[in-house]
């Protein structure tokens, strides 16, 4: 199975915090979605300024 299309974007969790949502479509027609849970960590992939979600936005 090969990937036909992958779409990822920033979404909001139930508390309004930014998180990552991804949709995958395969060439055989199957589709899937995954949402990464937001956490209180401040890892290297969580960038931003204090003016935008207290530096917890995901950009990469």
Residue 23 corresponds to which tokens in the numbers above? 């949709």
Do 4 and 27 touch, CB atoms closer than 8 A?
yes
pLDDT of residue 50: 47
CATH says 3-58 is which class? alpha beta
List the domain boundaries for the chain: 3-58
Query: For residues 11 and 30, what is the distance between their CA atoms, to the nearest angstrom?
Result: 22
CA distance 49 to 41: 15
Using H for helix, E for strand and C for coil, what is the string for 4-50? EEEEEEEEECCCCCEEEEEEEEECCCCEEEEEECCCCCCCCCEECCC
Q: What integer pLDDT is reported at residue 53 of this predicted model?
A: 56
pLDDT at 32: 93
Q: What is the pLDDT along the chain (60 residues), one digit of tens a residue?
A: 677 899 999 888 888 888 889 999 998 999 999 988 766 555 665 555 445 555 555 555
């Amino acid at each position: 199975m090969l990937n036909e299309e992958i779409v990822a974007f920033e979404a909001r969790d139930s508390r309004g915090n930014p998180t990552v949502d991804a949709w995958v479509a395969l060439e055989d027609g199957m589709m899937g979605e995954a949402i990464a849970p937001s956490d209180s960590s401040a890892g290297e992939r969580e960038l931003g300024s204090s003016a935008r979600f207290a530096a917890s936005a995901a950009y990469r």
